[in-house]
Amino acid sequence: MSQTFETAIQQALREVVESFDEQYVAEGLLKKDAIIVDLDNYKPELVEKILTNAILNEAFTEDIAG
């Protein structure tokens, strides 16, 4: 029997991208290329949802203003 385990970061990312319906998820799998392309292009909707997710914000941003 095979089980898939996701880290908290993976779970948070999945929750964010699933909110876009099938744009970033197909048959339960993340469309990683589509996610990366839209992040590279700074797609506002995706970037905003990632930055407002506490787990992803903590993992992928740094406070530079102190």
Residue 1 located in a structural domain: no
4 band by pLDDT with thresholds 50, 70 and 90 = low
Indicate the pTM of the whole model: 0.80
Asked whether residue 40 is assigned to any structural domain, the reply reads yes
7-57 pLDDT, tens digit per residue, is 999 999 999 999 999 999 999 999 999 999 999 999 999 999 999 999 999
Distances (CA, A) of 23 to 1, 5, 28, 53: 30, 23, 12, 19
Residue 20 is classified by DSSP as T
Residue 2's pLDDT band, with cuts at 50, 70 and 90, is: very low
DSSP 8-class letter at 7? -
Domain that holds residue 36: 11-60
**Number of domains the chain contains:** 1
